[in-house]
Amino acid sequence: KEILGDDPVHDVMVSAIEGVRHRGKHVAFGAAVILLLGSGIYLALEYLEKRDMESQQILSRGIDFYHAQVDSAAPDDPYGKGPDPVFRTEEAKYQAASKEFSSVISRFGSSRVAVIARYYLGLCQIRFGQKEEAIKTLEAVRDNTKDRSVGYLGKRVLAKLYAETGNYKAAQELLENMIKDPQCEIPKEELKLQLSRNYLAMGKREDAVKALREAKENSGKSMFQSLLMQELSRLEENPALSLKDLKQTAVRP
């Protein structure tokens, strides 16, 4: 014992063993922490993935309801006739769609999917004649930071609602900004057609004609070319022409 006690190599070995034991405890603790963190991250990702899938399923069902066929002989179950939903009335299908969109918004309000749901909910509110509610809903879509493309669609419909409720200045501002925005994917000739009608409602006939001419020049083989030519011709030939005399087109969803 005396020899071992005076042996420096023995002291080093003992210290090393104690160090390994000490470090081993820390390593084991660290490994346990890493394992717990890894499990937590995995579970969190799995939970988020399930929520994302659920929100998309509800949204998809709502969109299917929105575009569903109408048949007065349809059963109570919209899927009673097959894989595609069918409703007895237009009101019934928009009510069913609104319920799905509202569910997405209430449960997944901060997601991109909720932005799309708000857009479609606004369209449903328009169908019900709820213009004030639709304006509030679509203003939230306009201001969203999750999906710019849906935001532009919301602005287009919102501009039409503003014009219909007499807020022509707000409609003009929205349309002009979208026309100038290079990132806006909505056809410029469609926006200029809408802007022309807004000018005409404001009594700005010259501006209306100018907007139509610009749209016609840049329309190429656009689906709006024929309508642009017709409206421009009628405005140029009849100075007294009003907005109600022009052919109205529905806002595309």
Question: What percentage of residues in the chain have a pLDDT greater than 70?
Answer: 74
pLDDT given for residue 229 in this prediction: 86
Sign of CA dihedral 104, 110, 112, 117: positive
Give the CATH number of domain 148-253.
1.25.40
**Are 40-146 and 148-253 the same fold in CATH?**
yes
Query: Which residues is 69 bridged to in the sheet?
Result: 86
Amino acid at 107: R
For residues 93 and 70, the answer to whether their CB atoms sit within 8 Å is: yes
Phi-psi label, residue 203: left if phi above 0, alpha if psi -120 to 50, beta otherwise:
left
Cβ neighbours around 115 below 10 Å, total:
23
Weakest-pLDDT range from 40-49, 144-153, 167-176 = 40-49
Cα 189–chain centre separation: 23
Tokens of 78: 């919209």
User: What mean pLDDT is predicted for residues 113-141?
Assistant: 97
- Domain ranges for the chain: 40-146, 148-253
pLDDT in tens, 66-119: 999 999 999 999 999 899 999 999 999 999 999 999 999 999 988 999 999 999
Task: For residue range 172-223, list pLDDT tens digits in order.
Answer: 999 999 999 999 999 999 999 999 999 999 999 999 999 999 988 877 777 7
Least confidently predicted of 49-53, 73-77, 118-122, 124-128: 49-53
Distance (Å, whole) CA 7 – CA 167: 96
The pTM for the full model equals 0.76
What pLDDT does 9 receive? 47
Counting beta carbons within 10 angstroms of the beta carbon of residue 53, is it exposed (0 to 12), middle (13 to 18) or buried (19 or more)?
Answer: exposed
Position 26 confidence tier, pLDDT thresholds 50, 70, 90: low
Residue-wise pLDDT tens digits, 220-234: 777 788 888 888 888
For the cut 60, the answer to whether the pLDDT of residue 4 exceeds it is no
Q: What is the DSSP letter of 82?
A: S
Find residue 86's DSSP bridge partners. 69
Residue 251 in this model has a pLDDT that exceeds 50:
no
* Burial class of residue 185 in the structure, from the number of CB atoms within 10 Å of its CB (0-12 exposed, 13-18 middle, 19+ buried): exposed
Q: Are 100 and 120 in contact (CB under 8 A)?
A: no
Output the pLDDT for position 35.
59
More confident residue, 193 or 237: 193
First to last CA, the chain: 92
Query: What is the average pLDDT value for the chain, to the nearest integer?
Result: 83
Spatial neighbors of 118 by CB under 8 A, at least 6 apart, are: 101, 105, 137, 138, 140, 141, 144, 154
Residues 76-87: b if buried by 16+ CB within 10 A, e if exposed: eebeeeeeebbb
Q: What six digits make up the tokens of 61?
A: 């069902």
CATH tag for 40-146 (out of 3.60.21, 2.30.30, 1.25.40, 1.10.533): 1.25.40
| H helix runs in the chain, sequence order | 2-5, 8-66, 90-107, 112-127, 131-142, 148-164, 168-180, 188-201, 205-217, 225-237
Give the 3-state secondary structure of residue 193: helix
| Radius of gyration of the CA atoms of the chain, in A | 32
Checking if the pLDDT of 24 tops 60, the result is no
